[in-house]
DNA sequence: TATTGTTATACTCTATAACTATA
DNA sequence: TATAGTTATAGAGTATAACAATA
């Protein structure tokens, strides 16, 4: 990049731009880390929620991941076909399906999670431990504004 | 969202996930703010760099915005067709083209920038002024790791 | 030989509307 | 009427390879 760019265009004072660029860096390393497990960040996130004890519906997952419910369908189709999760009918409301991980899904998630944590350490390596925690708290407030 | 989700799945301790979700919120408000100007975050960013005195080449812009050079071509085709920027041949290297904003481009950028700043204030409203500045500094280190 | 901009292509992601079955 | 999941589709974003002009 040109050395004149040290002049720093106004974009660099734009938090939205910095957020986008930091996220792009983070996404790239995360995708590389998940590649051996044939997972993308999206499918990993769904799997991570399925491993939870929360017994979330597809709707819950869509809202939590800020996805459209129709996108969750496609992600689940893939994970279910690979026997990593199941769609369990909710006895109290036959419209909703609860997403639960299979034993195989839990196993894969365990390995993928280790890879993700390593990728995260790499992404956050420019920050001290204290700064990482602080960043996490600030981002949490932006990620879940009204919660 | 289910109240049981207060249990907070492990994803929530994942900075990459928080970064992605915060960025999605930020992107959505930014796109809404730019809509009256027929700009997306991408084209606004290119325009913002063209307004600069830095006289950047398409390659510089691609690197700075973390885009492939071929994507910059399409963004510039649109902006140039709307008479917002020009591709000026670099006399010292006839391969490279310098991207500069037209008067009209500067004018539109001025208005769009105001809208973007307002959107940013909205996105960052959960944070105090001090926290916003701190977040900006931390994100800058993640956005430009080796600089 | 290497680099800048370009074209072409394919794949992923995002957003929307409409449908079905249940409530 | 409203909601959960689904299907279909189109548009935006991302990634790659190959090419012409120039260095």
Per-residue pLDDT of A7-59, as tens digits, reads 456 788 889 899 999 998 899 899 999 999 999 999 999 999 999 999 999 99
Three-state SS at B99: strand
User: CB count, 10 Å around CB of B96?
Assistant: 15
For testing contact with chain A, the best of B143, B145, B146, B147 (most A CBs within 10 A)? B143
Alpha helix locations (H) across B82-128? 103-123
Q: What is the pLDDT of residue A13?
A: 82
Alpha helix locations (H) across chain A? 15-34, 41-51, 58-64, 69-81, 103-123, 129-143
User: DSSP of A75-113, one letter per residue?
Assistant: HHHHHHHTTSEEEEEETTEEEEEEEEE-HHHHHHHHHHH
More confident residue, B147 or A134: A134
Distance CA B4, CA A133 (A): 25
Q: What is the pLDDT of residue A146?
A: 75
Q: Is B53 exposed, middle or buried (0-12, 13-18, 19+ CB in 10 A)?
A: exposed
Q: To the nearest whole angstrom, how far is the Cα of A98 from the nearest Cα of chain B?
A: 12
Contacts of A52 in chain B (CB under 8 A): 7, 9-10
Structure tokens at A73: 């369908």
Going A107 to A108 to A114 to A117, the CA torsion angle's sign is negative
From the CA of B60 to the C1' of D18: give the distance in Å: 22
Least CB–CB distance from B143: residue in A22, A131, A144? A22
Radius of gyration of chain B (CA): 18
User: CB count, 10 Å around CB of A79?
Assistant: 24
Contacts of A4 in chain B (CB under 8 A): 54-55
pLDDT band at B61, cuts 50/70/90? very high
**Cβ pair A63:B141 closer than 8 A:** no
**Cβ pair B27:A20 closer than 8 A:** yes
Structure tokens at B36: 């009256």
Contacts of A134 in chain B (CB under 8 A): 134, 138
From the CA of A93 to the C1' of D19: give the distance in Å: 59
Q: What is the pLDDT of residue B12?
A: 83
pLDDT band at B4, cuts 50/70/90? very low
Q: Is A103 on the interface with B (CB under 8 A)?
A: no
Q: How many residues does chain B have?
A: 147
Q: How many residues does chain A have?
A: 147
A28 touches strand D (CB under 7 A): yes
Q: What is the pLDDT of residue B145?
A: 86
Q: What DSSP state is assigned to residue A67? A: -
Contacts of A60 in chain B (CB under 8 A): 1-2, 5
Three-state SS at A138: helix
Evaluate whether A68 touches A59 at the Cβ level (below 8 Å).
no
Structure tokens at B89: 């041949």
CA closest to A145 among chain B residues: B126
From the CA of B94 to the C1' of D23: give the distance in Å: 9
Which residue, B121, B145, B104, B142, is CA-closest to B16?
B142
Neighbouring C-alpha atoms within 13 Å toward the C-beta of A41: 24
Of A124-138, B8-22, B103-117, the least confident = B8-22
Is it the case that residue B6 has pLDDT exceeding 60?
Answer: no
Evaluate whether B31 touches B70 at the Cβ level (below 8 Å).
no
Protein-contacted bases of chain C (C-beta within 7 A)? 3-9, 12-18, 21-23
Q: Which residue's entry shows tokens 């199941």?
A: A86
Section B71-76 average pLDDT: 96
Evaluate whether A85 touches A98 at the Cβ level (below 8 Å).
no
Q: Which residue's entry shows tokens 């963004």?
A: B75
Evaluate whether A25 touches A123 at the Cβ level (below 8 Å).
yes
Least CB–CB distance from B49: residue in A11, A18, A30? A11
């Amino acid at each position: 990049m040109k050395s004149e760019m040290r002049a720093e265009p106004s974009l660099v004072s734009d938090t939205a731009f910095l957020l986008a660029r930091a996220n792009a860096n983070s996404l790239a390393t995360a995708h590389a880390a998940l590649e051996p497990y044939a997972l993308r960040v999206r499918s990993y996130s769904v799997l991570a929620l399925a491993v939870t004890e929360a017994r979330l519906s597809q709707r819950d997952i869509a809202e939590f991941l800020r996805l459209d419910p129709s996108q969750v369908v496609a992600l689940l189709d893939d994970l279910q076909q690979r026997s990593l999760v199941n769609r369990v009918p909710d006895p109290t409301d036959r419209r909703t399906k609860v997403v639960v991980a299979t034993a195989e899904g839990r196993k894969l998630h365990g390995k993928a999670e280790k890879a993700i944590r390593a990728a995260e350490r790499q992404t956050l390596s420019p920050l001290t431990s204290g700064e990482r925690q602080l960043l996490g708290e600030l981002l949490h407030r932006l990620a879940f504004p009204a919660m």
